């Protein structure tokens, strides 16, 4: 009887293990299919156009600047000597870097070297200095392309009126040639630009915030596409920084230190015995 029960339980156990393996494979296949669906949908969406609708033109002034977003590739066909403008948003606590590459005409069509320059202006059209990068470069007559870059200072949430600190809002990138022989004016070029941003962290945070970001034309009938440039998740307004985490962590550590110090210094917790007769 005991042997029969043991064999029956053994058979039931084997059946349960086989069922578990089958259900496990089914669950794995279902999970794989679910994970593949978004990727397939993304692939279908990306296949419909090149570079996901990246801007393929540039403005010729501040008012007609083409709006682009950070990490978005943009390009423009132009003539040598044109002023090309793009606009992009930079929020408080961010450090932006603009990248520009100019594909030059064939060397046989050029007569001399050319000097190219990229400038960055804030929402008040104040030229901003570059902390890093090469915003100005000379290309030899036989060069096929020239690359420029400019890393701005960290954008502050608030600043004194007399200061030239970069503030959150719309920024403008201007690309042009500054040194060129007259015979080379009007030759076709292709410009490729991109803006990248990094978070500078709480060490660069300041107390205070602007009432509104510096977005020229906002709220007026003359609003341009550049004025509508805004981060996808909205403006931070400078209220958040990693200093909040450090402050909260410091408070917790101070509380733990106080509890530990009390536990070490309170003694046994019983009052000292007073000698009799005193």
Is pLDDT above 90 for 139?
Answer: yes
Residue 124: other Cβ atoms inside 10 A: 11
d(CA 146, CA 192) in angstroms, rounded, equals 11
Residue 187: other Cβ atoms inside 10 A: 17
* Cβ-Cβ contacts under 8 Å for 216 (sequence gap 6 or more): 62, 123, 124, 125, 170, 224, 226, 227
CA distances 244 to 92, 136, 205, 207, 256, Å, are: 15, 39, 11, 12, 19
- Residues 26-52: tens digit of each pLDDT: 444 444 444 444 444 444 444 333 445
Q: CA angle at residue 88 from 84 to 91, to 5 degrees?
A: 150
Output the pTM of the full model.
Answer: 0.66
As a whole number, mean pLDDT of residues 110-135 equals: 94
Backbone angles phi, psi at 181, to 5 degrees: -75, 140
* Cβ-Cβ contacts under 8 Å for 229 (sequence gap 6 or more): 67, 69, 87, 88, 89, 170, 215
Domains of the chain (ranges; CATH) run 66-228 (2.60.120.380)
- Residues 160-180: tens digit of each pLDDT: 777 788 889 999 999 999 989
Closest listed residue to residue 57, CA positions, set 146, 175, 218:
175
Residue 118 parent element (H or E): strand 114-121
């Amino acid at each position: 009887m005991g042997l029969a029960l043991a064999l029956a339980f053994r058979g039931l156990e084997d059946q349960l293990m086989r069922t578990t393996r089958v259900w496990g494979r089914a669950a794995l296949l279902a999970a794989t299919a679910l994970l593949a669906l978004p990727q397939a949908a993304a692939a279908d969406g990306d296949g419909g156009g090149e570079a996901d609708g990246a801007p393929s033109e540039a403005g010729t002034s501040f008012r007609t600047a083409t709006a682009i977003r950070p990490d978005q590739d943009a390009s423009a066909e132009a003539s040598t000597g044109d002023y090309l403008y793009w606009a992009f948003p930079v929020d408080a606590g961010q450090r932006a870097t603009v990248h520009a590459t100019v594909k030059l005409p064939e060397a046989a069509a050029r007569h001399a070297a050319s000097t190219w320059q990229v400038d960055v202006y804030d929402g008040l059209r104040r030229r901003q200095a570059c902390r890093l990068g090469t915003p100005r470069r000379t290309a030899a007559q036989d060069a096929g392309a020239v690359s420029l870059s400019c890393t701005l200072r960290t954008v502050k949430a608030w600043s004194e009126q007399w200061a030239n600190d970069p503030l959150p809002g719309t920024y403008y990138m201007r690309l042009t040639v500054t040194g060129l022989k007259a015979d080379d004016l009007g030759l076709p070029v292709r410009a490729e630009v991109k803006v990248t941003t990094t978070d500078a962290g709480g060490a660069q945070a300041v107390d205070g915030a602007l009432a509104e970001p510096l977005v020229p034309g906002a709220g007026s009938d003359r609003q341009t596409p550049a004025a509508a440039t805004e981060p996808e998740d909205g403006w931070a307004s400078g209220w958040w920084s990693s200093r909040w985490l450090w402050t909260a962590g410091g408070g917790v550590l101070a509380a733990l230190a106080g509890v530990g110090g009390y536990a070490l210094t309170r003694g046994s917790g019983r009052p000292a015995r007073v000698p009799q007769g005193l």
